[in-house]
Amino acid sequence: MNNPRNKNKKKSSQNNTIPKQLILRLANDCKQPLHCLNGYDPDHNELVVDLNNRMRLKIRYYQWLQLSSEQQQWMINLTERNMRDLYEQSAWKWNRQSKMKEFKHPTAKHLIITSSNLDLENNDGNELVSEALEKPIAFVHFRFEQGYRPDETSLYCYELQVEPKYQNHNIGSYLMNQLEVLGSEFRLQKIHVTVLKKNISAFNFYTKKLSFKIDDSSPSCCDQDADYEILSLKLKSLKKSNPS
């Protein structure tokens, strides 16, 4: 005779198992993913946060066609300024058109970060003048997509770029922490990033400061010689299970 408790337990387990493709579709269909983050202002469709009690950041979400031409050019120019030399030292080489194509991908999502009242020291130890006008200081390009295994869902961070004089002020850490919350909110399993081996500062940032690990899909784990590593961070779901 079948135990009805086992039957109910199995049914409950099935109800809590959501198909991976449905998870990704729901995530990608979300018009405003920032709504689940602390500090989101629905009246202005932006996330507002006072970071380190010294600067106010405003974070806005866009798809490519929602960006102004000035924003688009700033994104590609900042990426080129920060990354061109590293790309040229790798097998990838710098290709502006290829990078623009990545930004324009149908599922690409972009966060533009502005700040209006900075009072910091730059990388040379000199104090930055407080700025009254909003200006973009960083951006993130990410996507919700299938991981490297068919049964894996991922928030893939394709780009995290910060203006040089605003680096080393925990802006990157804060943004990656928000991506972690987003990934967890949408029940994704991992965050992935790709890092060039020569980009030592980025590798240390992800592995030492944010606890990323070399993913089992990375070339170095597959006996392949490549000049990059794929790093990942396992996510924990923030969703509460329905009581059975």
Q: CB burial class (10 A; 0-12, 13-18, 19+) of residue 175?
A: buried
Which structural domain, as residue segments, surrounds residue 35?
Answer: 24-234
pLDDT value at 212 more than 50: yes
Model's pTM, two decimal places?
Answer: 0.85
| Average pLDDT estimate for 36-59 | 92
Q: Is the pLDDT of residue 243 over 50?
A: no
Q: In CATH, what number is assigned to the domain containing residue 139?
A: 3.40.630.30
In a domain, 244, yes or no: no
229 domain-assigned: yes
> Do the domain assignments include residue 11?
no
d(CA 5, CA 81): 62
Nearest to 179 by CA among 201, 212, 149, 148: 212
The verdict on residue 111 lying in a domain is yes
* Number of domains, the chain: 1
pLDDT digits 0-9 by tens, 215-235: 999 998 887 889 999 999 999
Q: What is the spatial distance between Cα 82 and Cα 197, in angstroms, rounded to a whole number?
A: 15
Q: Does the residue 200 lie in any domain? A: yes
Q: What pLDDT shows up at residue 222?
A: 82
Give domain status of residue 2, yes or no. no
Nearest 5 degrees, angle CA 174-CA 175-CA 176?
95
Query: Where do the H-state alpha helices sit in 199-240?
Result: 200-204
Decide if 89 is inside a domain.
Answer: yes
Is 95 in a helix, a strand, or coil? Answer: coil
Query: Is 243 among the domain residues?
Result: no
**150 vs 207, more confident:** 207
Judge whether residue 75 has pLDDT over 50: yes
